A = this chain, B = another copy of it.
Amino acid sequence: MALVVQKYGGSSVSDAHSIKRVAKRIAEARRAGNDVVVVVSAMGDTTDELLDLAAQITPLPPQRELDILLTAGERISMSLLAMAINNLGVKAKSFTGQQAGLITDAVHGRARIVDVVPSRIRETVSKGQVAIVAGFQGVTTDTNDVTTLGRGGSDTTAVALAAGLGADVCEIYTDVDGVFTADPRIVPSARKIDRVTYEEMLELAASGAKVLALRSVEYARRYGVPVHVRSSFGNATGTLVVGTYGDRIDPNAPAGEEEAAMEAPIISGVAHDRSEAKITVVGVPDVPGMAARIFEVVAGAGANIDMIVQNVSVAATGLTDISFTLPQGDSPATMGALTAVQGELGFASLQLDDQIGKISLVGAGMKSHPGVSARLFGALRDAGINIEMISTSEIRISVVTRADSLDDAVRAVHTAFDLDSAEGEAVVYAGTGR
């Protein structure tokens, strides 16, 4: 008997038929004796349809009103799911973010959870009923206004509720079997990862793996919530995201079953990202405070920068180049903001390059294994791929290449680190909803 939080994304509840299918799975979990709390996203394309309606009204809707509009989506999916579960003879009730006690700050559109007070959810579960909670949304305490959590919001709702309730596991249901060593659409021999640490999952999510939202992993790490990423189309074990490789997750599992992976593998997986652009500020006077000033301007333009590289300055000229990567969508505003200060800062020119790709190798084991970067760079050299930028963390190495050689890079690195499975199973790897 465990307390389980299950999260279903929009693609799992896209129509009446799939809602009934999910309801059956939830009813089974309840009948197996578990206490079950479910977090659900809006049905399929509902969010896009609502955004389209708003766009017909005004190009710049107030964020507060946009949040109210978008939260209608979860209202529909959660009540329908509760109906479907009741129809199977298992009592279920649905709750808005406000009713579930998801308290956020007042930053509409990308609110942060500041507290979770799930007294009504506890009460519902203690009566043996299933509690369905609207994902992606919360409420401010001071104004009682509805907020949304932004991208990955429903994953974050699920993890936050699991933490607040002290759940045994937070199951993230998706349309793939778990987290993979690489995108199987690029690397057909990619394997499902059985177990990964929060740190590795953070690096994978930040490096382009879309199966789990970065924020939810941060939240899970902070509160030590065991996360189980698995498919809503079967009962197979997916990927466990845990604190250390020895963590036990399923209290119902026989003792020996989870002992196998005690020693961390060197490399967990290879992530890639095609959504970034690179801006180079050319001929920057190499004086103190210049980098600070440039990135003040970039931050003022609202850009979320990723990698930064500054070359050593050429002694003769006293000039240097600074390159950084950022989401492609942020590049027009950033280019504009930098152009406006060219006279003030005195740099020579700006270059924008949106034909880049980023490949990241992630693994907790690389800390204690020398030679990982040498092997990575060697694999890229052997495949004839040029390296444009490099950045590293303790458990990650990222390399920027040309966009059109990214697929080759991923395959070469995947093979070089012995990640290919014997079977070469072809599975579909895709992002979750919100």
Interface residue ranges, A against B (CB under 8 Å)? 16, 19-20, 50, 53-54, 56-58, 60-62, 64-66, 68-69, 71-73, 75-76, 78-80, 82-84, 86-87, 93-94, 96, 99, 120, 144-146
Complex CA gap A75/B79 in Å reads 15
Closest to A74 in B: B72
Closest to A16 in B: B56
- Complex contact A65–B50 (CB within 8 A): no
Contacts of A57 in B (CB 8 A): 16, 19-20, 80, 83-84, 87
Contacts of A93 in B (CB 8 A): 64-65
- Complex contact A54–B69 (CB within 8 A): no
Complex CA gap A60/B82 in Å reads 12
Contact of A82 among B65, B75, B80 (CB under 8 A): B65
- Complex contact B69–A76 (CB within 8 A): yes
Copies of this chain assembled into the complex: 2
- Complex contact B83–A65 (CB within 8 A): yes
- Complex contact B87–A65 (CB within 8 A): no
Contacts of A75 in B (CB 8 A): 68-69, 71-72, 75
- Complex contact A144–B99 (CB within 8 A): yes
Contacts of A16 in B (CB 8 A): 53, 56-57
Closest to A69 in B: B79
Contacts of A76 in B (CB 8 A): 50, 53, 69, 72
- Complex contact B62–A84 (CB within 8 A): no
27 pairs, CB–CB < 8 Å, chain A vs chain B: A16-B56, A19-B57, A50-B76, A53-B80, A54-B79, A54-B83, A57-B80, A58-B86, A58-B87, A61-B83, A61-B87, A64-B93, A65-B82, A65-B83, A65-B93, A66-B83, A68-B79, A68-B82, A68-B94, A69-B75, A72-B72, A72-B79, A75-B75, A96-B146, A99-B144, A99-B145, A120-B144
